[in-house]
Amino acid sequence: MTQPTPATSVKNPPAKIPCTIVTGFLGAGKTTLVRHLLENNGGRRLAVLVNEFGDIGFDGSFIEGCGITGCTAEDIVELPNGCICCTVADDFIPALEKLLNRAQPPDHILIETSGLALPKPLVNAFNWPAIRNRVTVDGVIAVVDGPAVAEGTFADDPEALAAQRTQDGAVDHDNPLEEVFEDQILCADLILLNKSDAIDQATRDRVKAEIQAHLPKAIKIVETSHGKVEPALVVGLGAAAETDLAGRPSHHETEADHDHDDFESHSFAIQAVGSPDILAARVAKAAEAAGVLRLKGFAAVGDKPMRLVVQGVGRRIAHHYDRAWTPGEARQGRIVAIGLKGFDRGAVEAALNG
Ligand SMILES: Nc1nc2c(ncn2[C@@H]2O[C@H](COP(=O)(O)OP(=O)(O)OP(=O)(O)O)[C@@H](O)[C@H]2O)c(=O)[nH]1
């Protein structure tokens, strides 16, 4: 006589919460994309983990300052002071667990990495026992700065390379910018060719071909301006990237631990300025200092009630008022500069002080 099948006592395990990793080099438009996704959340409860290289959390405040309905300060978690890829155990896992343990956990989590972070160690962190049954990487989105690629920012300088070869016969042509950029696109499930508004169609096509030439497999490249993309294209990919590490090659594969010794950041206090143009001119001058890659921050303008945000990516400078200074808040401006190790800090400071 056959035994009756015992009623199963194992319940379906709870579904994993999907996480989208937004990677991309300094100033490519990651925060702009995250804000766009928050504004067009399609009714999903989203939370954001924002990581920055500089020691001041600017991006979190730029997202919080956007006034998106339904997006509260506790939905935006900042992980400043380093690169998320190097502080997985100390910062990332505890921050993620805190979000997951909330009475009402988010439906989807967006993770904005710093512009210098390598995404692969972060994807790998999703295999850690503490979180592997609770979350999955829905997709890795690489935001690419179209004009920066078009200008050859991430390519080896052929003249410098030739000079080095003549000098010491070396064939090592490590370009730290190129390595980070490549690691980011090689890990991607989708690439956004951002700042498409700033380059013409022929340049966009050339840049797309250049990016594709770096990739061992075909990855969809979507042209965007200001991160405006149909959210369904970005969120809900179901890639489970943590189960496909082999398909995401990296320059740092064999390193037990990597560091970011090629780059550094400093922040500068700045006095109130007379007009936005004055600040923009000072930041433009600071951007010319040797080794500087990125400048961002905010300042007080005269006795205006709003604070002025300023952004410098390479030599391109933009500014806008983002929010009012809050009562009791010191109207103290701050600008962070990120650059190659040993960048000319004195020149940046002098330029910012006018
Ligand atoms: N013209 C143009 N500017 C853009 C676009 N997307 C972003 N920007 C501008 O580029 C600057 C940097 O944008 P962010 O979104 O802060 O870039 P990010 O990648 O988050 O920067 P980091 O966190 O410092 O790496 C800002 O001034 C943006 O307004 C775009 O599609 N076109």
Beta bridge partners of 296: 311, 336
**199-255, pLDDT tens digit by residue?**
999 999 999 999 999 898 889 999 999 999 999 999 999 999 999 999 998 887 755
Nearest ligand 1 atom to alpha carbon 35: 15
Residues 6+ apart with CB under 8 A from 200: none
Superfamily of domain 263-352: CobW-like, C-terminal domain (3.30.1220.10)
Does position 284 have pLDDT exceeding 50, yes or no? yes
**Angstrom distance (rounded) from CA 96 to CA 17:** 11
Q: Which CATH number fits domain 17-243: 3.65.10.10, 1.20.120.1200, 3.40.50.300, 3.90.180.10?
A: 3.40.50.300
Stretch 83-98: mean pLDDT: 83
Q: How far is the CA of 248 from the centre of ligand 1 (A)?
A: 25
The tokens describing 219, both together, are 């990855």
For ligand 1, say whether the CB of 198 is within 6 Å of any of its atoms. yes
Q: How far is the CA of 329 from the centre of ligand 1 (A)?
A: 26
Of 236, 226, 230, the closest CA to residue 46 belongs to 236
Nearest ligand 1 atom to alpha carbon 318: 27
For ligand 1, say whether the CB of 27 is within 6 Å of any of its atoms. yes
Q: In what order do the strands lie in the sheet with 190-194?
A: 76-79, 46-51, 108-112, 17-23, 135-145, 190-194, 221-223
For ligand 1, say whether the CB of 265 is within 6 Å of any of its atoms. no
**Angstrom distance (rounded) from CA 59 to CA 57:** 6
The pTM (predicted TM-score) of the whole model is 0.89
ipTM of the prediction greater than 0.95, yes or no: yes
Q: What amino acid occupies position 315?
A: R
Q: Ligand 1 pocket test: pick from 112, 207, 279, 311 the residue with the most ligand atoms within 8 Å of its Cβ.
A: 311
pLDDT band at 171 (very low <50, low <70, confident <90, very high): very low
**Residue spans per domain, the chain:** 17-243, 263-352
Q: Is 153 helix (H, G, I), strand (E, B) or coil?
A: coil
